[in-house]
Amino acid sequence: MGTELNQDYRLDSDRIKIGSVYAPLDADIIHGCSHGFIELENTSEEDFELEGCYLHCAKNFPGIGDKVYHLPLTGTLPAGGTYLIRCKQYSNFDDVNTFIKVKSFD
């Protein structure tokens, strides 16, 4: 195996990435978004089947340690598209401080 680096990292990398995350702090009392969310992006030119895939998240609890959550994914992440995972609700849709209302998700 040679020592040459592939100049186009995209050729050998995964095409699914986390595009954005909204997870406010526990101390926050005003939320600009109704729900926490995780957005996955498919940067390839082919659909990606999510069956059998998991999203793994960890949270540290003082005095207890880390807890790992495993979320099984379903459906298809279309080529060039996004997949939205809606998480915990933080505010109501009619809250005047909530300017992003996550009403639909995949």
pLDDT, tens digit, 9 for 90 and up, residues 74-104: 999 999 999 999 988 888 888 888 888 888 7
What is the CB neighbour count within 10 angstroms for residue 101?
14
Round to whole Å and give the CA distance between 79 and 15.
10
How does DSSP classify residue 64?
T
pTM comes to: 0.73
Round to whole Å and give the CA distance between 64 and 98.
33
Where do the structural domains in the chain lie, given as residue ranges? 9-89
Quote the strand ranges of 1-106, DSSP E.
16-22, 35-42, 48-49, 54-61, 65-72, 76-77, 82-89
How does DSSP classify residue 97?
T
Q: What percentage of residues in the chain have a pLDDT greater than 70?
A: 86
